[in-house]
């Protein structure tokens, strides 16, 4: 019972105006195999149904005993170098959880066990889409428990130089992400969307992680990107994309940063009702933002996740701005 321990006084009566959506889990178990992006290790995962109020819980099957359980929560985040790694008090960790967490958020899966036989979630093709496909194949079922969301009550911001991440009050869930890279093929890009029903799968889930050819040797010397390749990442060399098939979206780079933010924010333990704005932010800043939010009890509250603001699946652009200048 990890994600939904809710104080009775934090559950406003006004949230009961509409019947609450039900929590959801997988209809059946399903799995896949792949390679860890940073470790380069071969690993297998299996997604399994979990009881209501469980949340998302990783279980290291290669480690014996109860210390192998790692709840997917912001407070368990450790390493954030080019990935989000969660770790329990026994020091057992699971790395690169953000793409799978984004898929679980996008498919509105509240409760699931993720059995994994290694230290890192497989990168698959570098996006969240393979995990979305797995969830669709397994099926989704509603559970006999109301779905709750975290409603942002006031602005919360973390900043570091020209980078920042903020949450604002708002109806439903929306994101704006801005990036700025020296490479002309990326340059400045901004994307904004409002989550409603449908677009996470078609417009965000297929955006792949990316990196720069000139950084590969340095990253591998630091124990990172050992499993990276053109099969699971967009690789930029100078002002060129090296992947033969090019980009999946004209603005795939900023869309992937948006995908990462969706996954990182789902470590809150429930969908968020509010507006996220990230400027040149990454995993470390996304996690700091959640820590800042939960450190201030007046900045948030639990409410019923009413259907129009369920916060996990998106289907209509609020605005979409892309600049390569």
Query: Is residue 145's pLDDT more than 90?
Result: yes
Domain assignment present for 219: yes
Cα-based distances in Å from 239 to 144, 184, 268:
52, 6, 37
Domain assignment present for 314: yes
Cα–Cα dist 223/228, whole Å: 12
Domain assignment present for 2: no
Residue with tokens 């020209």: 162
Q: Once rounded to an integer, what is the mean pLDDT over residues 182-200?
A: 90
For 188-232, the three-class secondary structure string (H helix, E strand, C coil) is EEEEEEEECCCHHHHHHCCCCCEEEHHHHHHHHHCCCCCCCCCCC
Bigger pLDDT: 75 vs 309: 75
Cα–Cα dist 29/252, whole Å: 31
pLDDT, tens only, 65-95: 767 999 999 999 999 988 999 999 999 999 9
**Mind giving me the DSSP string for 126-188?**
SSSHHHHHHHHHH-EEEEEEE-EEEEE-S-EEEEETTEEEEEE--SSEEEEEEEE-SSTTTSE
Domain assignment present for 120: yes
Tell me the catalytic residues.
283
Domain assignment present for 324: no
* Choice among 101-105, 206-210, 223-227 with the minimum mean pLDDT: 223-227
Domain assignment present for 1: no
- Residue 23 belongs to domain with CATH number: 3.30.1700.10
Give the total number of structural domains in the chain.
1
pTM above 0.75, yes or no: yes
- Orientation angle between helical segments 283-295 and 252-265, nearest 10 degrees: 40
What is the token pair recorded at 232?
Answer: 């699971």
Residues with Cβ < 8 Å from 311, sequence gap 6 or more? 105, 149, 172, 173, 195, 271, 272, 273, 305
Q: Is the dihedral of CA 268, 257, 140, 14 positive or negative?
A: positive
Q: Once rounded to an integer, what is the mean pLDDT over residues 121-133?
A: 97
Domain assignment present for 3: no
- Domain extent for 243: 8-319
Domain assignment present for 284: yes
């Amino acid at each position: 019972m990890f994600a939904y321990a809710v104080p009775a006084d934090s559950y406003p009566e006004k949230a009961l105006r509409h019947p609450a959506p039900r929590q959801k889990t997988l209809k059946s178990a399903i799995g896949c195999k792949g390679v860890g992006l940073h470790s380069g290790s071969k690993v297998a995962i299996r997604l399994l149904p979990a009881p209501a109020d469980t949340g998302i819980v990783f279980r290291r099957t290669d480690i014996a005993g109860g210390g192998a359980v790692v709840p997917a929560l912001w407070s368990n985040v450790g390493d954030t170098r080019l990935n989000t790694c969660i770790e329990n008090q026994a020091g057992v960790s699971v790395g690169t959880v953000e793409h799978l967490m984004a898929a679980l958020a996008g498919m509105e899966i509240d409760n699931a066990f993720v059995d994994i036989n290694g230290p890192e979630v497989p990168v698959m093709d570098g996006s969240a889409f393979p995990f979305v496909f797995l969830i669709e194949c397994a099926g989704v079922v509603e559970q006999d428990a109301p779905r709750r969301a975290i409603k942002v009550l006031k602005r919360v911001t973390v900043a570091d130089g020209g980078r920042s991440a903020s949450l604002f009050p708002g109806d439903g869930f929306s994101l704006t992400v801005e990036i700025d890279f020296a490479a002309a093929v990326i340059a400045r890009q901004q994307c904004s969307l409002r989550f409603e029903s449908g677009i996470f799968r078609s417009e965000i889930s297929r955006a792949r992680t990316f990196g720069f050819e000139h950084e590969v040797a340095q990253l591998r010397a630091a124990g990172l990107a050992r499993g990276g390749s053109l099969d699971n990442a967009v690789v930029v060399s100078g002002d060129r994309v090296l992947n033969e098939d090019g980009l999946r979206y004209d603005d795939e780079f900023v869309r992937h940063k948006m995908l990462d933010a969706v996954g990182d924010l789902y470590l809150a333990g429930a969908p968020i009702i509010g507006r996220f704005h990230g400027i040149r932010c990454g995993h470390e800043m996304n996690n700091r933002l959640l820590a800042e939010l939960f450190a201030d009890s007046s900045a948030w509250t639990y409410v019923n996740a009413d259907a129009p603001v369920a916060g996990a699946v998106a289907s209509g652009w609020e605005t979409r701005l892309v600049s390569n200048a």
